[in-house]
Structures are given as C-alpha cells and as structure tokens.
Amino acid sequence: MIGDLGPFWLSLRVAGLATLLIVTLGVPVALLLARLRFPGKGLVAGVLVLPLVMPPTVLGYGLLLILGRRGWLGGWLESAFGASVVFHWSGAVIASTVAAFPMFLVPARGAFEGVDPALEDAARLLGRGETSVFLSITVPLAWRGLVAGGVLAFARAMGDFGATMMVAGDIPGLTQTASMAIFDAVNADDPGRAAGLSLLVALASIGAVLVAQRTMPGRGPGR
C-alpha cells in the first residue's frame, strides 16, 4: 500500500545530516552573535535568518544559481572535483541545511544570551579553562534552547520541499525525498501511499520531539 520506503529513508538521512551540519555550524555562530559586539552584527544576524522569511522556491532558486554548473561555487566544485551537488542527494542536504538553519540559530542564540556571563566568570575563577567552562556551564545552561532548536531544524529539514526540489530535483530513487514522493503520490491518485508516507514523516518528527524531551532536565535551570 505504501510501496517503496526509499524516499522516507532518504528524507531521514538528508534531515539527519542537515541537522548535524546545522548544529556544527550553528553553535559557534549563535555563540558569537550572543557574546560578541562587532560592527554590522545586525546585518549578519538578519541575513542568517533570511531563509525563514523567504519563499522556499526563491531560496532554492538562489541556491541553484550559486551551486549550479555555471554558478560560482558550483563551477568551482565541478572543475576542482568533477562533482556536482545539483540533481544529487547532497544538494538536498545543502538545500535543507540552508532552509532550516535559522530554526536552530534563533533559539540557540537566545539560549546562549540567557546564560549569565557572571556564572562563566565564577567558573573561570575556580580554575577552569575556556573549553571546560563552555562544556560544563554554558552548554548545560543553554541545553533546552539548543535541543529545541535542533528539533525544529530537524523537523523543518524533514519537511522541506521547495528548496530541495529546486536544487536536487525529484528523481525517484536518487533525490526523491518523502515530501516529493507524497506530492507525486497525490498527483498519481495513490492516496494509500500519500497517507502512509505522511504518517511516517509525522511520526519521525513527533519522535524527534519525544527524544528531545527525554534529554531535558526535570526542571529548568532554576534561576
């Protein structure tokens, strides 16, 4: 009835990798935005949340211009590695990473801003170095916001349609993610497949929320 589950697994893989990329890039960026003052900070912060307000197809088109064979980044990738991310599942990862990045950045920045720098100074005075302070004080106190951002980003990446479609296309067995397969199933008048895949995607997102909740401390940082 559901048929081929390939698109669902691809979506999971794409969203998982995208979330990994987003958290890896997003933690330092969020920390810089929360802690540093520099000229043009407002502009940088604004550009970084732009994907949130842009229509996904516009975002995808922009990425295509950059990453396509004639784009400046795509052209370089082609000549240097003979590789292209366009119409490849890695393009889907990049597209959903960009589309979902603000979903992590905004709550993560807020979470870091919520950590009292005086607590970090107290930790330093107790003999701890920067890495130790970050891991033992900053991250635990910002944990809720970081996890919430991670879940939001994962869910957004899992459900991305427009941006991914523009960059990676809808090639069954290669770049067709669950969202596209659902769209195609509806067009092909296959309600069983559309409903089944929808249910799976919904369950995956709900599952992510549940997993995230289990990592939360029983009560918030009581400050």
Partner 1 sequence: MSGTSGGLEVRLGHRVHPGLTLDVSFRLGSEPGILFGPSGAGKSTVLRLIAGLSRPDRGFVGLNGSVLFDSAAGVRVQLRDRRIGLIFQDDLLFPHLDVGRNVRYGLKSWGRRAADDRLATIAGLCEIGHLLGRRVATLSGGERQRVGLARALAPRPRLLLCDEPVSALDLDARQALIDRIKAVQRAESIPILYVTHSPAEAVALGSRMFLLSGGQIVAEGPPLDVLASRTSAESTGWNSIRNVFRATVEGQDPSGHSTTLGIVDGPSLVVPALDRPPGSLVTLAVGADEIVLSRGPIGVISARNLIEGTVDRVAPHGPEAEVVVRTGGVTWVVGVVPGAVDSLGLIAGVEVRMIIKARSCRVLPDGPT
**Least Å distance between CB 213 and partner 1?**
17
Q: Which of these ranges, 30-38, 83-91, 101-109, 133-141, lies near partner 1 under the rule CB under 8 A? A: 133-141
Q: Which of these ranges, 59-67, 93-101, 114-122, 199-207, lies near partner 1 under the rule CB under 8 A? A: 114-122
Exactly one of 49, 119, 174, 195 binds partner 1 (CB under 8 A); that residue is 119
Residue 52 touches partner 1, criterion: CB under 8 A: no
Residue 166 touches partner 1, criterion: CB under 8 A: no
Residue 12 touches partner 1, criterion: CB under 8 A: no
Q: How far apart are the first and last CA of the chain?
A: 52
Own/partner contacts of 193-197, CB < 8 Å, gap of 24 or more, are 193/1, 193/2, 193/3, 196/1, 196/2, 196/3, 197/2, 197/7, 197/8
Q: Which of 4, 21, 197 is nearest to 92 (CA)?
A: 21
- Other CB atoms within a 10 A radius of the CB of residue 178 amount to 25
Residue 128 touches partner 1, criterion: CB under 8 A: yes
Residues 6+ apart with CB under 8 A from 107: 145, 146, 148, 149, 152
Exactly one of 36, 43, 53, 125 binds partner 1 (CB under 8 A); that residue is 125
Q: Which of 210, 184, 209 is nearest to 197 (CA)?
A: 184
Q: Which of these ranges, 46-54, 74-82, 118-126, 153-161, lies near partner 1 under the rule CB under 8 A? A: 118-126
Interface residue list for partner 1 (CB under 8 A) = 116, 118-119, 121-129, 132, 136-137, 140-141, 217, 219, 221-223
